[in-house]
Structure 1
Amino acid sequence: SGALSFQSVIKNGYSSNGRTVAGLDGARDVAISPDGKNIYVAGFHDDAVSIFSRDQISGALAFDSVLQDGDESSDGHNRTVDGLDGARSVTVSPDGRQVYVAAYDDDSVSLFLRDPTSGALSFENVIKDGYINNDKTVDGLRGARSVIVSPDGKQVYVAASIDRAVAVFVRDPPSGTLAFDSVVRVPEDRDDQSEVTEGPLGIGISPDGRQVVVVAIPNQALSVFLRDATTGRLVLERIEGGIDFPQNVLISPDGSDVFLIYSGAVLGFRAQCAQCSPGEMCPMGTGFPIPCPPGSFQFMPGEASCPSCEAGFFSASHGATFCDICSIGTFASKGSESCSVCPAGRYSDEIRLESASDCKSCDSGKFAVTDEDGEPTTACSVCEAGRFSNANFTACLPCPAGRYASLEGLGKETDCLACPPGQAATGANGSVEVDEACQVCREGTYRGFGDNLLSCQPCGEGAYTEREGSSSCIPCTTCPAGTRVVADCSESKDRSCESCPAGTFQNKTNQLRCEACPPG
C-alpha cells in the first residue's frame, strides 16, 4: 500500500554506532547512494554533511561521520573543507562515485569523492560564484539552494534563489570534476518571460533527462525547461503558475507525475498524453517524445516508431522527418547515418546504391580514386600515355625502364612496348616515345629479342660487331693454316689475315707469325 510506520529518529547529540551524532542542525536535504548503503544529510546551521550507514534489510541508520566547513581533510591531501557554509542540498552521482553539495551562504557547489566500500567522503574542490572556471566567470550560484545530477551523469544543475537562476555545469564522469557552462534565468510569469524572479527553491529532472523543472518565489510557478541531450543546456518550454509559495519539487521514477511542496500541502501534476510530432516517436508508455535517431525518420505525427532509412538514403541528425538520398558516386546500407564514397578503383554514375559492391569497377586502362576533399567518383579516368592501370584500378603506374607507350588507356605492364632489338633502357620510367625509353647499343655490344631490357651486353670472346644497334654478334674470322694474324679480333673489329711470305710456312690456325722453312 505504500503506508509508512514510524521506526526511529536520529538527532544531533544522540549516540549512534558508538559515536555522538553531529551535523544535523538545520537539516535541509537528504540523499541516498545508488547502492543503498549510505545516507547523506545537508545541515544548514551546522555547515555540514553527515554520513550514515544504512542496513539494506531493515533500513536502520548508523552514524558514521560528519564533514563541516573548515575541517581539515582526513584523506592525507591536507585540504581544508570548503563550500559547506549554509549547506542546503546534497546529491549523489548516478555512478555513486561523487557527492555534490549546494551551499546558500557560500554561493557554491562543492565536490566530494565517495569511497564505494565505506561511503566515506573526502573533499575534492569547490566552485563559488565569481570564480574563473572553464575560462568563464561562474555565475548563477548566489544563494545556491538545490543541486541535481542528470541521469546520464553528464551535467550538474544548481538552482540559486538570490541569483534567480539555474547554473549549468558539465561533469567529467570519471573524476566528477565540474566545468561551468552556462546560466539560465527563471522567467517571472507566462505573460512576461523576459523578466527574472527571485528565489528558485527546488529543481528536479525527469528520469529520461529530457526535462528540468524549477519552482520559485515570488512568481509562485513551476518552470519547465527542455534539456538538450548532447550539451545539457536548458530552453524554457512552459510555466505552470498559481502555486502559493512552492518549496520543492519531485518527479516520480516513471516520469508520469510531478509533486510540489507548497503552503503546507503537496500538489501533484499528471503528465498528459500528447501526439508526437513528425521526427519523433512515442512507444507505448513513453513519458516524453523521443527524437528519431540518426539513420531513421518519421514524417507522420503520432507514431510509435521511426522506420530506418532505405538503402541509398541517410539521415545524419536526430529528429529527421525524411531521409536524404545519397549522391552519385556514394552508397549507404539500410539505416545509415551518412553515405560512403565508392572505394578507389570503383565508381558510380547512379544513385540509391546499397554497398561498395554496387559501385562499378573501372575498365582496363582506367582508374578511379577519391579526391583529397572526399568528393565521390562518378567516372573513371583514362591512364595517360606512358602509363598503365594497376590490378585494382586505383592508380596508373608508369611504364618501367625499357618500355614505352605512345597510346593512352593501357591495362597492364606488358602493354607497354619493349625496346626493339639492338636497343636497351635509358633508365627513364613513364616514357611515351621510343627515344625516351631506349638507347642504341654501341659498337661491340648487342641486345637480342627477349634479352634483358635494361642493358646491352658486350660481345663475348670470339665474336664482334662493327655497327651500332646490333641484335647479335658475328663470329670472328679464322685465319687458316698458311696464313698469319695481322690484327686480332676485338668486340668491334674482325680478325684480319695474310698469307705466309715465301720461305715461311704455318700449319696451324690463328697464329701471329709464320715459321721459316727448314733446310732442304
Structure 2
Amino acid sequence: MGTEHPCAKGTFGLRPGLAHESSCVPCSPSMHCASAGLSIPTGPCHPGYYCTGSAFSPTPVKHLVEFDNATFTGNDVCPIGHYCPEGSKHPWPCPQGSYSHTMGLASEGQCQRCPHGYYCNQLGLTDLSQAQLCDPGYVCHAGSTVPRPSDGIQGYVCPRGFRCPAGIIREIACKAGTYNAFPGAGICLPCPAGTVCGNSSAVEPTVCPKGYYCSSRTTFPLPCPEGTCNALNGAASAAVCLSCPAGLYCQGMANSEPDGPCVGGYYCQGGASSPTPQSNLAFPMNGPCAAGYYCPTGTKSPIACPKGTFKNITGGDSLEFCTPCYPGYYCANKGLSQPSGLRFAGFYCPGNHSSVNPNAFSCPRGYFCSEGSGSPIPCPAGK
C-alpha cells in the first residue's frame, strides 16, 4: 500500500481515492478550511472578513491578496467603504447615503449615514470628504442620496419666508427687512423701497402706509415729520412728505392729510404744524396776521386792508379790524400799518372818512385849515 497524504490547509478532498495533491479542491469562496485532510470546508468565514477562495482562516489578513486589489482577490479583512456579513465571498459596498472609514464592518447597519446637510450618491464612500453639500434651497437629512430632496424623508425644499444656504441642516428665517416669496431659495431678498418687512419669516413685503415712507430693508415705517403730509401708499423716501399747504396745518407726525384750516387771525404760509403757527426759516410768514392785513380762517394769503384804512396790530380775521384813517390824516395805499401822513394845509379830512388823498377836501371861505386839520376852523371876527 502507498502512503496517504492529507489535502493541505485551505483545500479539501471531495471524494476518496484521490491520487494527486492537485486533485484537492481549493476551499470554497465564503468558506475556510482550517486544517489538513478535510473532506468538507470547516465553515464560513467570520463577519468582518471576506474569502474569495483557498482561505484557511476564518479571519484572514492579506492572504493571497494581489497588489492591485480593486477587484478584491484573495482573503482579507473587510476594507473601508464596505461591509462583510458572515460567509462573504467579497466585500459589499456601503450603499448610497452612507460611508465608512473603518475596516472590518460586519453589516450594512455599521456604515455611517451621510450627515445632515450632505448627500452621498455613490457606493462605497470611504471618507466624509467624498460627500457633497446639499444644494442651496434644500435641507438634506442624514442619509440623503440626492442634492435636492423633496420627499420629506431624505430632506425637503426650503419653505417660503426662509433661506437655505448650501449644506444647511435647518432653514433660517428671513430677518426683518428681508423676505422670500418662493420655496427653494438659498437667500432672502431685501425688502424694496416703498415697502416694509416688519417681522422675520416675511413671505411678501407690505406696502408702506400713507403718512410714512420706507427705504430699502425697512423694518418699521418712518413717519413724515410734523408740518408735512403724505397721501400716497408706497412712499420710498422722505421727499414725498410734502409741506402742509397754505391755509392748513398738519399737527404731529405721520399725517396722511392736513388736520384742518388755520385759526382766523393767523396766516399759514406753508408747513404749519399748529393752527396758530410760529415763524420758521422755511416759512417766515407763518404766525399772527401781519399789521396792515387781516386773515380769515384758513386763508391762503393775507388780505390787505383797503386804501383809506390801516391796521396797526397783528392778528385780525376780518375787514372790521381795518381802521378808517384818523381825522386830519390820509391813507393812500393798501395794507398800511399806519396812516400815510398828515392832511396838507388848506385842506381837511373829516372823521370816519376813509381819505386816500392829502388834499381831498378844500378849506371853505371864512375858514382856515392848518396841516392835519380834521375839520375847518372859522376865521376870527374881522379877518
TM-score for both structures, normalised by structure 1: 0.37
Q: Which has the higher contact order (CA 8 A, sep 6+)?
A: 2
Higher share of residues assigned strand: 1
- Tell me which structure has the larger Cα radius of gyration: 2
